[in-house]
Structures are given as C-alpha cells and as structure tokens.
Amino acid sequence: MLFTSLAVTCRQNVAAILAAATIIAFPTRAHAQATPTAQGAWGGKTQGVGHYADVNGIKLYYETAGTGRPLILLHGGLGAIEMFGPNLPALAKGRKVIAVDLQAHGRTADITPFLWFDNQAEEAMNFYTSIFRNSKTLSVRRYGEAEPGPTGSVMTGTFQLDGQEFMALNAGTIRSADAMWPRHA
C-alpha cells in the first residue's frame, strides 16, 4: 500500500505541475464557466469566473489574477484556492498569480485511483469488498486467449468501497528503482 500511496501523491504533484505549465503556455485554451462555490471545509466564494485545464484526464480548476511574471499557488491537503484568502490579491500586485484547485479539492473532481497487483487483483477486490460497508465489485475484465495474461485471469476490475470507486490492475511485478535506474560508479 505504501507504493500505491506514493504513486497517487506523485501523480497528483505531476498533474499540478503539468497543469501550471499548460496554463502558462496556453492561457486561452480550455476555458469554462466555474462553479462559484468551492466544496469542503475551505470552501467559499470566488471571483466567479475560472478556467479548467485538461491534464492527464483531470479537469483542473484554476483562477488567474494580476499581470507580470507567473506565480503558481498550490494549496495543501484538504484545501482549495480560497485558503489563500487576502494573500491572493496582495500577491497579484506585479505578478500573474495562478491558483489551482488540485485533484479532489475545491472545484476539481476526483479520478478513479488504481491499485497495481502482480496477480492478486481479484483476491484483493474480493477481500476489500468483504470488509468495507456499502462496497461491491462493479466490473471485471479477464484476459482472452490471444492476450498477454493467462486466459481467464483478471486483467482489470473496478469496485466501490463505501461509494469511492477504485480500479485493480494485474500489471506484473514492479522492478526495484535500482533495476530501473542503475547507479553509476
């Protein structure tokens, strides 16, 4: 589970950085009317008009203010743009401030996280759905005769744990970092 947590955290950070690069490089693309109120504890009113950038299948919400050299604001966990409060307009004096609602925060929706397995995706789905309330298997995709896995074994499966959707993926063994990026003497 540690690798899964690190992969999710890394993916969120990469998505945020790519979103910021997209916003800076293409400020007129992917504009959409924003919802005026953010979700969650840091929710609140915004200026009412924001934009969405398509980044790795996630529509990241962002707002811009000011002109000048870009300054990207990324909130912490459980936050949204509104957590910057009066600092946002102050920072926008002399800069182009780009504030982003990260994945599953504020006005940016969540995606379906996946869990990577060597060959135990089906067993894991069955175990998880047996111990969490309001949980069920949604779909299972099995390998066919001409596909790379053993015929009939699970390729992918989707399941819900208390309303949150997950995907299980039998994708083989993860090689160690040393095998992927050997150290040079």
Counting residues of the chain whose pLDDT is more than 70, the rounded percentage is 67
Taking Cα atoms as reference points, which of 149, 130, 133, 129 lies closest to residue 141?
Answer: 149
Instruction: State how many domains the chain has.
Output: 2
35 and 80 within one domain: yes
Averaged over 67-78, what is the pLDDT?
88
Residue 65 lies in a domain: yes
65 and 13 within one domain: yes
22 and 79 within one domain: yes
Q: What type of residue is 140? A: V
pLDDT band at 176 (very low <50, low <70, confident <90, very high): low
The more confident residue out of 36 and 74 is 74
User: What is the spatial distance between Cα 106 and Cα 83, in angstroms, rounded to a whole number?
Assistant: 10
Residue 184 lies in a domain: no
* Structural domain for 148, as ranges: 114-179
118 and 97 within one domain: no
131 and 158 within one domain: yes
Q: What type of residue is 141? A: R
Tens of pLDDT, residue by residue over 111-143, are 778 899 888 999 999 999 999 989 999 999 999
Counting residues of the chain whose pLDDT is more than 90, the rounded percentage is 30
92 and 13 within one domain: yes
| pLDDT (0 to 100) of residue 174 | 62
29 and 118 within one domain: no
Q: What is the DSSP string of the chain?
A: -HHHHHHHHHHHHHHHHHHHHHHHH-TTSSB-PPPSB--STT--B--S--EEEEETTEEEEEEEES-SEEEEEE--TT--GGGGTTHHHHHTTTEEEEEEE-TTSTTPPP---EEEESS-HHHHHHHHHHHSTT-EEEEEEE--TTSSSPTTSEEEEEEEETTEEEEEEE--PPPPHHHHSPPP-
Instruction: Give the CATH number of the domain where residue 133 resides.
Output: 3.30.720.100
Residue 109 lies in a domain: no
Residue 68 lies in a domain: yes
* Residue 93 CA: distances (Å) to CA of 36, 40, 64, 71, 97: 23, 28, 12, 11, 9
pLDDT at 42 over 90: no
55 and 6 within one domain: yes
141 and 78 within one domain: no
Tens of pLDDT, residue by residue over 15-38, are 444 444 444 433 333 333 344 444
Q: What is the chain's mean pLDDT, rounded?
A: 75
Residue 174 lies in a domain: yes
79 and 133 within one domain: no
pLDDT band at 7 (very low <50, low <70, confident <90, very high): very low
135 and 97 within one domain: no
Residue 106 lies in a domain: no
Residue 158's DSSP bridge partners are 139, 167
Averaged over 43-52, what is the pLDDT?
64
Phi, psi of 170 (to 5 degrees): -85, 100
